[in-house]
Amino acid sequence: MFEKAIKAFLDDKAGKDPAFAEKYKSEKKNITDCCKFIIAEVKKSCKGNEAACTDEYVYGLAMHYYDEENIKVPANAPSCRVVVPGDVQLTEEDIKEAKAEAIRKLKEQEVQEQMRKERQRQETAEKKAEAERKRQEARLEKQRKAYVDAPMLFNFDGED
The per-residue pLDDT for 158 is: 61
The per-residue pLDDT for 136 is: 95
**Residue 54 near residue 9, CB atoms below 8 Å:** no
The per-residue pLDDT for 94 is: 80
Distance of CA 54 to the CA centre of its chain: 26
**Gap between the Cα atoms of 105 and 100, Å rounded:** 9
DSSP state string for 76-101: SPPP------S-PPPPHHHHHHHHHH
In angstroms, the Cα distances linking 72 to 11, 41, 102 are 22, 11, 32
Q: Tell me the average pLDDT of the chain.
A: 84
Q: Mind listing the pLDDT tens digit of every residue in the chain (160 residues)? A: 888 888 988 899 889 988 888 888 888 888 888 888 888 888 888 777 777 788 888 899 988 988 888 888 877 777 777 777 665 566 788 888 888 888 998 999 999 999 999 999 999 999 999 999 999 999 999 888 877 777 767 666 665 5
In this structure, the number of other CB atoms found within 10 A of the CB of residue 58 comes to 21
Q: CB under 8 Å to 84, separation ≥6 — which residues?
A: 1, 2, 5
**Gap between the Cα atoms of 82 and 105, Å rounded:** 17
